[in-house]
Amino acid sequence: MADSPTTTREAVLATAQRMLAHGLVEGTSGNISGRLPDGLVCVTPSSVAYDTMTLDDLVVVDLDGAVVEGTRSPTTEQDLHLATLRRYPELGAVIHSHAVYATMFALAHEPIPAVIEEVVVYLGGDVPCCEYKGTGTAALGDEVADRLADRGAALLANHGLVTCGASPDKALHNAALAERTAKIVWGARAMGATIHPLPDEVGTDMAGVYRYLRDNP
């Protein structure tokens, strides 16, 4: 977790702009949260373009979503961030993006399979798909928090991707990894290839590494 309110806010803003540069979102879609040292949460605002966003545009809310600081409205999708951060104190950041290849799996309501070792290490295993719930609802927040109990990423049915980590930087790494894996699996299937699973023991052992890294950031 970042060590001061300023560094956390700067990390949220820098990560938002990198998310745009990586092509994980377009325009004003997607959103990022970062837990501040005092337990409050810095979130990106609703309807502000990332390329012109400044630190003053960010909003600070409490874990129940009440605005504590800032003149903008917080992201309308803040429930999925706050439900996750309320439930898992070891996590420091959540990112929601509309990554294209991951969203293809989200349309199919199909997990992104953990067929590459680093997916198990950084994401904990297959990237599961949440049951469909309305965008911005508390029900979606609860569903996302359920899925992120032992995972660094989950798909939002018919919508996009959500990832978590100790910091905005790590949550972005997880978003890029989930998207890259979705693209690789999609490409392998397009080749007509048989996709072989990892050996069971690799999945089990590396899921233990994920748990350790998540609990000891």
Please say whether the beta carbons of 177 and 188 come within 8 A: no
Active site residue 10: no
What is the spatial distance between Cα 29 and Cα 50, in angstroms, rounded to a whole number? 9
What is the spatial distance between Cα 174 and Cα 152, in angstroms, rounded to a whole number? 7
Q: How does strand 41-43 pair with strand 67-69?
A: unpaired
Choose the catalytic residue: 10, 26, 69, 77: 77
Please say whether the beta carbons of 210 and 122 come within 8 A: yes
Kindly state the tokens that stand for 43.
């979130």
Q: Closest residue to Zn ion, Cβ-based?
A: 160
Query: In the complex, what is the shortest distance from the CB of residue 49 to Zn ion, in angstroms, rounded to a whole number?
Result: 15
Query: In the complex, what is the shortest distance from the CB of residue 96 to Zn ion, in angstroms, rounded to a whole number?
Result: 6
Taking the least distance from each CB to Zn ion, the nearer of 107 and 195 is 107
Taking the least distance from each CB to Zn ion, the nearer of 160 and 165 is 160
Q: Which amino acid is at 127?
A: V
What is the spatial distance between Cα 153 and Cα 134, in angstroms, rounded to a whole number? 19
Report which secondary-structure segment, H or E, holds 35: strand 31-35
Taking the least distance from each CB to Zn ion, the nearer of 74 and 160 is 160
Give the interface size with Zn ion as a residue count (CB under 5 A).
Answer: 1
Kindly state the tokens that stand for 95.
């990112």
Stretch that binds Zn ion, among 61-69, 142-150, 157-165, 209-217 (CB under 5 A): 157-165
What is the spatial distance between Cα 29 and Cα 36, in angstroms, rounded to a whole number? 23
Stretch that binds Zn ion, among 20-28, 42-50, 114-122, 159-167 (CB under 5 A): 159-167
- Chain residues 32-61 in contact with Zn ion, contact rule CB under 5 A: none
Query: In the complex, what is the shortest distance from the CB of residue 34 to Zn ion, in angstroms, rounded to a whole number?
Result: 18
**Site track for Zn ion across 160-179, x = CB under 5 A:** x-------------------
User: Any idea which residues carry the catalytic annotation?
Assistant: 77
Q: Which residues bind Zn ion (CB under 5 A)?
A: 160
